[in-house]
Structure formats: C-alpha cells, structure tokens
Structure 1
Amino acid sequence: MGQERRERVATSLADAVGEEIGASLTPVDAELERRYPGDPGTRQPVHTVYVPGDAFAAGTLRTWGDRALAALDAHAPDAASLAAVLGLDGDLAEDVYDRVRAKLEREPVEDLRVDFEDGYGSRPDAEEDEAAARAARIVAETYDDGTAAPCTGIRVKCMEAAVRDRGIRTLDIFLTGLLEAGGLPDGLVLTLPKVTYPEQVAAMARLLGAFEEARGLAPGRIGFEIQIETSQSILAADGTATVARMIQAAGGRVTGLHYGTFDYSACLGVSAPYQASDHPAADHAKAVMQVAAAGTGVRVSDGATNVLPVGPTEQVHAAWRLHYRLTRRALARAYYQGWDMHPGHLPTRYAAVFAFYREGFARAADRLARYVDRAGGDVMDEPATARALAGHLLRGLDCGALDGAEVARLTSLSRAGLEGLASPRRGDRTAFAR
C-alpha cells in the first residue's frame, strides 16, 4: 500500500501582517473583556420577596413557608388537585408536588429584600434609623444561625432629590451594622429603585466606593441591582438605550436589572387593569434590558403580579393559574427570576420552575451527553447550545428541581463538568451550593 499523500502547505502573508493586526486589536480585546466578561457563574435565585422594613423579623422566612404550606393544604392538598388547577401531567405532578412541599419546608425564599422604599413609605428619621439598624442585626443573626435566604439585602429609597439623603443614610446604617456584627455576607444584595439617568447609577457606585474606603474593604466588594421602573431608563431623550449606559456607569458593580411592573406600566399610561408582566410594553422593556445585559454578567429579573391568591378556593385557583402561566412564560423567555408579593405565590412559583426544568430535563441531558460524546442525533448542537444546555441543568440543580445523581446518570457529567461547559467562570458557583 502506498503512503498517504501529505499536502503542501503554502502561505502568502508575512508574519508581520498578523502581528500588526493583533496589535491594532489589542485595545478591542481588552474592551471586550471589560464590558462583556460573561455570566458570573454564581447561583441566580428564582425569585425575590420584598418585606417592609418594619415587618421584617427573624422568623419572616419560616412564616412565609408555613403560610405557603397552609395554602397548599387548604386549596391543593395533594398532587392530583394541584395538577387539575395548573394542568400538570399526572406523572410530572407527583414529582413536582413533592418537590414544592420539600422546598417550602427547607428553603421557602431564595432571595429576600428588606424594603425601605414603597413597601415602607415615609417615616420619621429616627424611626427609619432604628428599623435599618434592626434589619442589619437580624440579617446578621440569620446568616450566623443558618436561617437566612441564600441572597438577602435591602431596597433603599432612590437617588431623586426628595429622598436621596434618606436613602443614603439608611444604606450606611445597614451596611455599618452588618460590618459591626461580623462582616458583609456573601449573599448580600442591594437594590436601587426608580433609576432614570445613568448619573444616578454612577452616584450609587461612588457612594459604595466611599463606604468601602471608609471601612477598609476591597474596592468593588459591594454591588447592587437597578430597578427599571421608568420609560427614561429604557429610552433616553436622545434615542439611546439608557439601560445599557447605566450598566457601564456602575463601573462593574451592577449585578441585576429588575423590571418594575406597576411603576413602569403607570409611567407609560397603561390603565390599572392591564398593568401586567405580559403587556406588550412590559415585553418591550424586558427585551431591551435583556439585550443590554447580554454578556455583561448582569442578570435580568421579571416583575410580579399583584393578583393575590387569597379568599375562597375558586379565587385562589384563578390567581394560581395566572401566576403559574406568567412564570412559565417568563422562563421560556429566559427571565429566570421574578418577584413574589405574597406567601400564596410560593407554591406556584416553585411548581412552575420545577415543571419547567423537569419537563426539559431528559431531552437536555440526552442532547448534552451526545454533544460531549460526539454522537449523532436528530439535532446538531454547537458549543453555544451546549453552554445553554449545561446552564439549564445547573439552574435546575440550584433551585432543587433536579438532583445531582440523576443529572450525572443521564449526562455522565459531574457538576464541575457542567460548569466547565456552561462557562469558564463557573468555578465559584459553590457559594450557594446545597
């Protein structure tokens, strides 16, 4: 047999050409790395719960969990009854129902925000001072005894002139109290509401930088979320996307963009009966937020429904169906987080999340396993899709929809293997590992 022919390789360009192009693009390479570092690889909570500063207590999370369980007992005491309300498949319903109850017993709230803005209102300064100090003490105590939500923090008043000083003081009291109680927890989250101009975001970043300097903290230690509640935060007077400029104005401190359903809708003149997270105006705002945040490491959160699951069973079921539908709709659009306004929303939040990840589990696991093994299938997946599939499974693991053993069995991948596929930066996801 003859030897296999080796092709002659020829080129025309001098090495200096590639070197010159590389040198010319070095600033662009650095800019891409700075502006678009990719997903941070940490756990994203599936929801945020707001509790007014004067109502927050050490047992708040357990109270919410118990009230959610009581709602299930009263209005959907078994898997079949919840399946009938939400339209769940029978086999899926048993698993989802059991996981919902277990979640409500173990970790009813994933992200808690002690509210000193709309949910708290305007109070005498001495009263808000004391409430902020109390909130810091309780948050520190719950982290110490293991009863805190994985993510916990406060929402302060905005940077507008009328309430700016009050918001700054409350933030200072809260952060100072945490430091004096032992330090800032890893899951600390701060929320800045009603942002209209990038300069307000830059001011928040300067404020946090000044606090870090005053207390000897590492620069950039403290990040914050921006609430998108005004039309000007989406589209500026010059026609540019304000939210993109806001992310850059924070100098790397922004961690999330949270859509404010009702303030934003009202800002656009949407009538109260139509203020909902599936209104076309809401879809437009969240689409702009999503594109602006893509690749920056900033997460996007959907808003809430104000239809509460209270009253007679028929009324509770109607509210549950609405909340379940809106949550599933958001998940399909890659909004993996939302707000929950009432303990009765927790059963359908977790039912929607668990059903979403479990329905797609076997298919996602099979596609990922075939991709890793370079095996054929009915879909030709690319690296970007493999990242999405791995991210899907990791989010399911984080919230409790999936178990590590079943994921490993179907994919032959450990969690570390999934993290490597999902993002090169996922090595620090252990902060919220369960």
Structure 2
Amino acid sequence: MRLDPEIHAELDARLAAVDMRLSSRYPGDPDSRQPVHTVYVPADRFHQGLVPEWGGAALRSLSSAPALPYPESLHARVTAKLADEPIEDLRIDFEDGYGIRADDEEDAAATSAAKALAGAEVTPPFVGLRVKSMESHTRRRSLRTLDVFLDAWFGGAAELPANLVVTLPKVSDPAQVDAFAAVCGRLDAAYGIALRFEIQIETPAAVLGADGTATVARMITAADGRCTGLHYGTYDYSAACGIGAAYQSMDHPAADHAKAVMQVAAAGTGVRLSDGSTNVLPVGTDDQVAAAWALHARLVRRSLERGFYQGWDLHPAQLPTRYAATYAFFRDGAAAARDRLAAYLDRRDTGILDEPATARALAGFLLRGLRCGALDDGELGDLTADRLAGL
C-alpha cells in the first residue's frame, strides 16, 4: 500500500463542510405515517361535526350509487375506514375555497374555525389551515388570519394538535418562503410553538426560475427546516401554463413535468409529496357518478404508481375511491414485494439481483401499506412493521 495514511484526516477536513451539508439537506424520509389525502374545506363551512358528517355522506354515496371500480373483497375494508376515520388530513381553507372577504368577516371565521377545531367531535390525525399567499395583495391578510387563528386557539385550548401544519399557496420565489419562515419564528416565540408549513406548487415560476434553476429546490432550503411537504396545485398551475380548461388534469404532460421536478427536488430531504385533485365530482346521475369514480380511481392509482402517496379530495363521495384505489394498489403488490424482500434477506437466488436500495424500497412499500390500513399485521409473515422500519 502506497497511499499515505494521513490522507484520511486530510480528506475528512477537506470534506467536513460537504458532509455536514449533505446530512442536513438529505436526512431521508421521516419514519412516520403519511396521510393518503388532504381534504380541503372552506373555512366558513367548517364546524365541530364535519368529520363524521363527511364520513356519513361517503357511506351513503357508497350504498346508494353504482358499484365502485374495485374488487368486492375491499368493500368491508373501505366501509370500516369511512366509519372509523373518513378524513386523514384536514385543511381549513382561507384561500381559494374561501375567497376574499371583509377583514372583520375573515377574522370571525378564523376565530370560529380555531374554536370549532378545538371542540371538534372527531379530529383527524393530521390537520391545518391554508392561508392566503405571500403575494403583495394578500400577505397582510394571510398573516393576520394565521395570528387570529392561533390567538383564538390558545384562548381556549391547552396546546396545538401535534400534526398541525400551515399551507402556503401560490409560492413563486424562495424569498417568499424565507419571509414566511421568519414570520413562523416570531409566532413560535409569541405562542411557544414550533410551526411547520407545506408549500403549494401552483405557478410555473415555482418549478423553473428566470435564472434557469429549479426554484422548488431553493424553496426547500429557504424554509429552514420548517417545510413538511410540497403539494401540486392542478388547476392554478395548468391555467398559468396556458392549458385550456377542458384539458387541465393531474395527468396532463405539463403536470407530469412539474411533479417530476418536485420529486427530484424533495428526494431524500424528508419533505413529502402530494399530488393535486380532480374537480370532476361523483354527483348527478348513476352514469355520472360511475364515470367520476372511475376517473378518480384511475388518477389515484396513477399517482401512487409514480411515487405520490398523497393527493387532494374535495367532496365526501371521493373518499370511497380514494381508499379503494389506495388499498387495491398496496394489496395488489404486497405478495410479490413480501416474497422478493424475504428472498433478499435470506440471500436466496430468485433470478433477480436486488441491491440494498431496492430492499429499502420494498420495505417502504410494505410499511406504507400497513400504515395506511391496506394491509394487516400478520399478512406479511415475520416482516413486522418494526422490522420493515428497521430496513
């Protein structure tokens, strides 16, 4: 060996800053449950009994409408989910779903929403609110709504929900994220909390900057560790790209490009991804409901296949297809993933030469299936949730 042993210390010193930057920027996916969807409800329509109300409406749509486009074997699982936990992630919306109102009206809505959430009959495991954007004409109202909401909450409740998150819409520049993170720091100090937020990617400038860089990657850095997710905004983004209303969709090529950039920017950072929504609702005649359900189920499946494990739902009748399509996706692939991972762990020759990265992906797939309720403990043999998380 002719390499000077001192080279190791030299390289450690030379690359120390890089090592620190990489470990900080790319901590990996958090070992925790990710909701399969986010339900957006206009702030003036939110009330204490909203979650069971949506669950009841979803169950009625399931029993009175045409058959869902999924195997009958999933019916009991979907029905139980709608009865027990119909909404996984709820966002009280003060932006597009709420609109522009007088200040006193929005103040009252923010106060009412905080009190209703604090006293809700059932609280989803993940909750939050979407404020208005940091653009010049709405940012004062945005920050005021957030402050009023928090003030009302702490006036009547002990502490914020553990998974509360703020949605920041229509972000176009990393400076807006940096500014919002600074505001969160001030609110943290004022209320004794630790605010986190998600960024909505709804403008072309959020994907590709004027300087040719991927803006969304810079936004994650600007969030200073507070960003938990990137959510794709189907219709704002499509309209900004000049796509006609009849062709605006989650599966349009422009949408796929934006989401691919989001995916690369977020990979390894711990920031999670959410696809957008379809505004084709399962209402009307039996044929209309069946067509809307088929479309929604196809789009949910398509997102899952592309690594987007979360999406938006806008109507109670979309919940049956959200869960049916999600459960079918994980159950369809569970047996093959289980056998392939077991063969890798046992070092058996199956004709497929899997690497550690693939084993981690197989474990992640099965763990997501367990955490979302598609799979049950015991169905995967000795591949328990703890063992899968360890992989």
Structure 2 counterpart of 1:176: 151
- 1:195 equivalent in alignment to 2:165: no
Identify unmatched segments of 5+ residues in structure 1.
1-10, 422-434
Identify the match of residue 345 of structure 1 among 288, 306, 318: 318
Q: For 1:112-123, list aligned pairs within 5 A.
A: 112-123=90-101
Deviations 1:24-65 (A, max 9, x none): 111110000111111112211111100000000111111111
What is the match of residue 385 of structure 2? 415
Query: What are the residue-to-residue correspondences of 1:289-300 with 2, within 5 Å?
Result: 289-300=262-273
- Partner of 1:73 in structure 2? 63
**1:219-270, CA deviations, whole angstroms, 9 ceiling, x for partnerless residues?**
xx21100001111101111111110111101111111010000000000110
Q: Match for residue 432 of structure 1?
A: none
Bigger drift between 170-179 and 296-305 goes to: 170-179
Q: What is the 5 A alignment of 1:370-409?
A: 370-407=343-380, 409=381
With over 3 angstroms needed to count, the CA separation of the structure-2 counterparts of 1:176 and 1:376, relative to structure 1, is: farther
1:53-100 superposed Cα distances (whole Å, 9 cap, x missing partner): 000011111111111111111114xxxx43xxx2x4xxxx23311111
Contact in 2 for aligned 1:139/1:152 (Cα 8 Å): no
Query: Which whole-Å CA distance do the structure 1 matches of 2:221 and 2:335 have between them?
Result: 39
Q: Does the Cα contact within 8 Å between 1:328 and 1:356 map onto a contact in 2?
A: yes
Q: Which amino acid aligns with 2:255?
A: A
One-letter identity of the residue aligned with 2:39: V
How big is the shift at 1:185? 1.1
Cα distance in 1 for partners of 2:180, 2:33 equals 24
Q: Percent identity?
A: 59
Provide the rounded CA distance (Å) in 1 between the counterparts of 2:63 and 2:253. 36
Computing the radius of gyration from Cα coordinates, the structure with the larger value is 1
> Are 1:34 and 2:24 matched, yes or no?
yes
Q: Distance in 1 between matches of 2:135 and 2:99?
A: 15
Q: How does 1:30-429 map to 2 (within 5 A)?
A: 30-76=20-66, 81-82=67-68, 86=69, 88=70, 93-142=71-120, 147-180=122-155, 181-217=157-193, 221-407=194-380, 409=381, 412-421=382-391
SS in 2 for 1:339: strand
Q: How many angstroms apart in 2 are the aligned matches of 1:216 and 1:343?
A: 35
Rounded to whole Å, the distance in 2 between the matches of 1:109 and 1:274 is 29
- How far the C-alpha of 1:128 sits from its partner, in A, is 1.0
Q: What code does the residue aligned with 1:414 have?
A: T
Contact 1:137 1:178 in 2 (8 A): yes
The CA RMSD over aligned residues, in Å, is 1.2
CA contact (8 A) 2:370 2:385 kept: no
Amino acid at match of 1:18: H
Partner SS for 2:198: strand
User: Separation in 1 of the partners of 2:371 and 2:246?
Assistant: 35
**1:255-287 C-alpha deviation (Å, 9 max, x unpaired):** 101000000000011000000000000000000
Alpha-carbon distance in structure 2 between the residues aligned to 1:215 and 1:52: 25
Please give the secondary structure, in 2, of the residue aligned with 1:158.
coil
- Distance of 1:138 and 1:373 partners within structure 2: 53
Tell me how far apart the structure 2 counterparts of residues 308 and 111 of structure 1 sit (CA, whole Å).
19
Instruction: Give 1:14 shift.
Output: 2.1
Q: Aligned with 1:15: secondary structure? A: coil
SS in 2 for 1:54: helix
Aligned equivalents of 1:328, 1:415: Cα separation in 2: 23
Secondary structure in 2 aligned to 1:257? Answer: strand
The alignment covers a number of residue pairs equal to 390
User: Runs in 1 of length 4+ with deviation above 6 angstroms?
Assistant: none
Kindly provide the CA deviation profile for residues 130-177 of structure 1, in whole angstroms up to 9, marking residues without a partner as x. 1111111222223xx6x1111001000010111111110111122233
Q: Which TM-score applies when normalising by structure 1?
A: 0.88
State how far apart, in whole Å, the 2-side matches of 1:72 and 1:120 are: 28
1:307-346, CA deviations, whole angstroms, 9 ceiling, x for partnerless residues?
A: 1110111110001111111111111000111111111111
